[in-house]
Amino acid sequence: MQCFKKVLFYLAALFFFVAISDQAFAAKSTNFYEYSNAKGVTVINYHSFGDYKEIANINITAKLFREQLKMLKDNGYTTITEEQLIAYLQGHGRIPEKSVFLTIDDGFESVYTIAYPILKEMGMQATLFVIVNDVETGYRKGVPMLNWQQIKEMSDSHSIHVGNHTYDLHWRANNDAPKHEAMILNQTKDGKVLTNEERQRYILEDVTKAHQLIEKHTGKAPTSFAYPYGVYDRVAERAIKEAGYRIDYSTQGGFNMFGDGTVHIKRIDSSNRVSAHDLKKIIEKHQNLAEQRYNNRDIQVEAQVSSNKVALKAWLKSDMKNGALQAKETRFELYKMVNGERQLQRNFGNYLVAASANTKVMSTEENVTNYEAGGYSVKSIIIKQNGSKEVFWINFNR
């Protein structure tokens, strides 16, 4: 009897230790990854460098551009690459906590004569979105554009990545009036009326033409797209999605967070109207807002990790209150750590779990006994009724 009691005691102690260890490990590993990652990324957008009267509202002097980059460097900011940005926004890449991303729209010649040397000097990089037809003709609004030799040289460097800004869809009708942008206008440049289906094909053909010419002259196929004037609608979105771009950019101001996705990336414009000090304050404001949003995330995940099973429950805090259901569904994905980076393996457990009034807490589990040794992560993605999503990671080892 005494022996039986000892066995019960040891079994209870073992169960308690495993339960506590699993919960502590799950919390520790999740915190290790998420809290060592940037809470948000500000994308800074430029256009013209120098002093062109024709485009005075988008100019930035060489002196101010250098001051802005020096401010970033002096304050510990890292300019990340587009590959890093994509991985971060997809929810599986880690970047320095103080990260920014630089873009340059249009393709004015001053990118080569002014911005490019300063970027190289500072050891920083940017993505350049070129309007291909303007490059071919040599001018935009009377201002000289880059030529293909200059674009190729910059593309071959580690400082400039080249993206697509359309072939010839960067214009407005009605005397250049807002809300008459080519990307959302059901007519061609010469006034021919288009149906939505025809406009989608029209956009796709234009973007494909630009894509092919960029690849021809640089030797690299562009992977990113910036909407002219930052304007789009569902027809334009479908065309860009069909074109196969990995990431696209708007001109909506704000910051971008881990797992937000790679469509309609928010950017802030910089020009002579923004001092280096002003830019510093804008970025710091975005950092603080991202930190607050991160700490106040709606998503909640509970993990039970044992030697043979990983079980997850995911829900939204807002759905635990009375009111309309916010969650639409939860998706679970399995990643494995390979050379220090997460690589998607497959769907995890019951990959897709729909939310309902009776299923506000969505759960899944999987037997991990036969997993290879190594580090793993499960990505829980809650899709909300409004189309937005929230992401949470749980890490575990085998």
> Which pLDDT band holds residue 12 (cuts at 50, 70, 90)?
very low
81-96 pLDDT per residue, tens: 999 999 888 777 789 9
* Residues 284, 142 share a domain: yes
Q: Looking at residue 375, which CATH number applies to its domain?
A: 2.60.40.10
> How many Cβ atoms from other residues are within 10 Å of residue 382's Cβ?
27
* Residues 231, 134 share a domain: yes
- Helix 148-156 vs helix 196-218: angle between axes, to the nearest 10 degrees? 70
- What is the DSSP pairing of strand 268-269 with strand 42-46? parallel
* Residues 242, 116 share a domain: yes
Chain mean position to CA 326: 23
Residues 104, 142: contact at Cβ < 8 Å?
no
* Residues 196, 76 share a domain: yes
130-164 pLDDT per residue, tens: 999 999 999 999 999 999 999 999 999 989 999 99
Q: How many domains does the chain have?
A: 2
* Residues 214, 88 share a domain: yes
38-53 pLDDT per residue, tens: 889 999 999 999 999 9
Domain extent at residue 131: 42-294
* Residues 188, 108 share a domain: yes
* Residues 251, 146 share a domain: yes
* Residues 256, 222 share a domain: yes
> Which pLDDT band holds residue 27 (cuts at 50, 70, 90)?
very low
What residues have CB less than 8 Å from 253, skipping those under 6 apart? 266, 267, 268, 269
* Residues 306, 242 share a domain: no
Q: Looking at residue 101, which CATH number applies to its domain?
A: 3.20.20.370
Q: How far apart are CA 225 and CA 250, in angstroms?
A: 9
* Residues 163, 103 share a domain: yes
Phi, psi at 172, each rounded to 5°: -125, 145
* Residues 51, 12 share a domain: no
Instruction: Using the 3D structure, point to which of 248, 277, 294 is the last residue of a domain.
Output: 294
Q: How far apart are CA 110 and CA 271, in angstroms?
A: 14
Mean of the per-residue pLDDT values of the chain: 89
pLDDT at residue 345, as a whole number: 94
> Residue 159: is it exposed, middle or buried by C-beta count within 10 angstroms (0-12/13-18/19+)?
buried
* Residues 172, 68 share a domain: yes
271-316 pLDDT per residue, tens: 999 999 999 999 999 999 998 888 788 898 988 888 899 999 999 9
Instruction: Using the 3D structure, point to which of 274, 294, 314 is the last residue of a domain.
Output: 294
